[in-house]
Amino acid sequence: MFTFASIVVKLNLVYLSLGSNIGNRSEQLEKAINSLQEIGVVGKISSVYETAAWGNINQSSFLNLVLQMRTNIDALNFMNKLLFIEEKMGRVRKDKWEERIIDIDILYFNNEIINEEKLKVPHSYLYERKFVLEPLVEIAPDFIHPILNISSKEMLNRCADKLEVKRLLHA
């Protein structure tokens, strides 16, 4: 007779924003999603949206999407793994809001509020960015922002961002 110990693994619910505006943007998003499957289980994926660059407008338009995933990795280590994926894909960080092969941002990590030097969760600009809110509302309209205490849908309704966000296709 064998007795097995119960192992409880906490799976963290994470929402990520992915964007690309260099090279084959669709291919970059697909590569990033495949890489993310090495550090967790990818769940819902929004449609792909095209938008003009935000922050630094003198660059090519972006393809963006939002996805939900679950991971057993804690937030800071998860962020480090995301940075490694970006680096592996060829991202070089020089200037803020620059062109990029891939950008992977943590929007939410469970309902946690994290204010570390290297990690701010919820994402600091989430409520200001229509290109993030539209795909987020597609997959998580009722998710409540843990600081603002309003849903994704309500954030989108209140968003002052006027950039056009064009839905292209469902992932």
Report the candidate in 47, 51, 69, 42 with the shortest Cα–Cα distance to residue 171: 47
Catalytic residue among 100, 142, 158, 161: 100
* Rounded CA separation 28/40 (Å): 19
3-16 per-residue burial string, b: 16 or more CB within 10 A, e: under 16 = eeeeeeeeebbbbb
Q: Is 100 a catalytic residue?
A: yes
Q: What are phi and psi of 87, to 5 degrees?
A: -65, -45
149: CB partners within 8 A, 6+ apart: none
* Rounded CA separation 20/135 (Å): 15
Catalytic residue among 25, 105, 129, 161: 105
Catalytic residue among 25, 91, 129, 161: 91
Q: Is 103 a catalytic residue?
A: yes
Catalytic residue among 25, 93, 95, 103: 103
Q: Is 158 a catalytic residue?
A: no
Q: Is 93 a catalytic residue?
A: no
**Any idea which residues carry the catalytic annotation?**
91, 100, 103, 105
